[in-house]
Amino acid sequence: MRIIGVTGGVGAGKSTVLKVLKEEYGAELLMADEIGRELMEPGAACFRPVIEVFGETVIGEDGRLNRGKIAEAVFKDPEALKKLNGIIHPAVRREIERRLSLLRMTEPEKTAVIESAILIEAGYEEICPEIWYVRADKETRIGRLMESRGYSREKCLEVMANQMADEELLARATAVINNGGSRTSTKEQIASLMAL
Ligand SMILES: CC(C)(COP(=O)(O)OP(=O)(O)OC[C@H]1O[C@@H](n2cnc3c(N)ncnc32)[C@H](O)[C@@H]1O)[C@@H](O)C(=O)NCCC(=O)NCCS
Ligand SMILES: Nc1ncnc2c1ncn2[C@@H]1O[C@H](COP(=O)(O)OP(=O)(O)OP(=O)(O)O)[C@@H](O)[C@H]1O
């Protein structure tokens, strides 16, 4: 089974690359933030531990965790982010490894893609022989995020400040996808990498 790790900063285009890998190459997607989201639902493994650290005030009116409130707390405070990561990452990692072993048994011919904005920080180099770094310059990313998600410039900068620098990601990646241009150009780069 080919295992590819896809990383890149907020708004760089990871989801866009993943969509191509799934639709055109039948890849199986393992997205850390989506799995993290599932594990934070009421009754799931991380729900209570998060409340124990951040207090009852992070429970929303619908009884689920208020992600906006948690984001406000952690992206301004590296210590709080560390605590949140300490709860979410081990649980996400276990779930990803469980899904990978299942895939290895049932669909070994498939390509599995693990995606996270903080793939390297969270230690996934250990299980991903390939690390693809999806890249676009800061202003392009901010412009896209403001338009598509309604993020403020300040929010983009806050999240970026908590992510690994471009130079370090370039040094650690086994391949780089430049997503600062057109979607067609990105698809062509993916095609070259998939042909390897
Ligand atoms: C802080 C939380 C609750 C905010 O949720 P919210 O729905 O508002 O935003 P979302 O999850 O889409 O995150 C927005 C962006 O922030 C960045 N980000 C998320 N978690 C982290 C982190 N731990 N460190 C650095 N950047 C992060 C990513 O680029 C992400 O796309 C959520 O991001 C979270 O639980 N993060 C910790 C878990 C984690 O590490 N997830 C995997 C990161 S991909
Ligand atoms: N080559 C491109 N040209 C134009 N728009 C793009 C391109 N690539 C991505 N986008 C748009 O930019 C936005 C951010 O891209 P995407 O959601 O793929 O980023 P991401 O890396 O997954 O972000 P996050 O870390 O927050 O999950 C989206 O609205 C997407 O449609």
- pLDDT tens digit sequence for 94-113: 999 999 999 999 999 999 99
pLDDT in tens, 48-97: 999 999 999 999 999 999 999 999 999 999 999 999 999 999 999 999 99
| 8 Å CB contact between 71 and 154 | no
Helix (H), strand (E), coil (C) string for 38-95? HHCCCCCCCHHHHHHHHCHHHECCCCCECHHHHHHHHCCCHHHHHHHHHHHHHHHHHH
- Which of ligand 1's atoms lies nearest the C-alpha of 162? 25
Residue 161: closest CA among 54, 70, 78, 68: 78
Its ipTM equals 0.89
Identify whether the C-beta of residue 122 lies closer than 8 Å to the C-beta of residue 129.
Answer: no
Nearest by Cα to 133 from 3, 6, 30, 29: 6
- Residues with CB under 6 Å of ligand 1 are 10, 32-33, 36, 67-68, 70-71, 74, 81, 84-85, 88, 116-118, 159, 162-163
User: What predicted TM-score, i.e. pTM, was given to this entire model?
Assistant: 0.92
Is 195 in a helix, a strand, or coil? coil
How does pLDDT run across 14-49, given as a tens digit for each residue?
A: 999 999 999 999 999 999 999 999 999 999 999 999
Model confidence over 122-154: pLDDT tens digits?
999 999 999 999 999 999 999 999 999 999 999
- Residues with CB under 6 Å of ligand 2 are 8, 10-16, 117, 144, 148, 179, 182-183, 186
Q: What is the pLDDT confidence band of residue 185, given thresholds at 50, 70 and 90?
A: very high
Whole-angstrom distance, CA of residue 31 vs CA of residue 6: 9
The CATH number of the domain holding residue 176 is 3.40.50.300
Ligand nearest to the CA of 146: 2
Range of the domain at 47: 2-194
- Substitution site in 14, 15, 30, 33 for ligand 1 pocket (most atoms within 8 Å of beta carbon): 33
Tally of structural domains, the chain: 1
Looking at residue 186, what is its pLDDT?
98
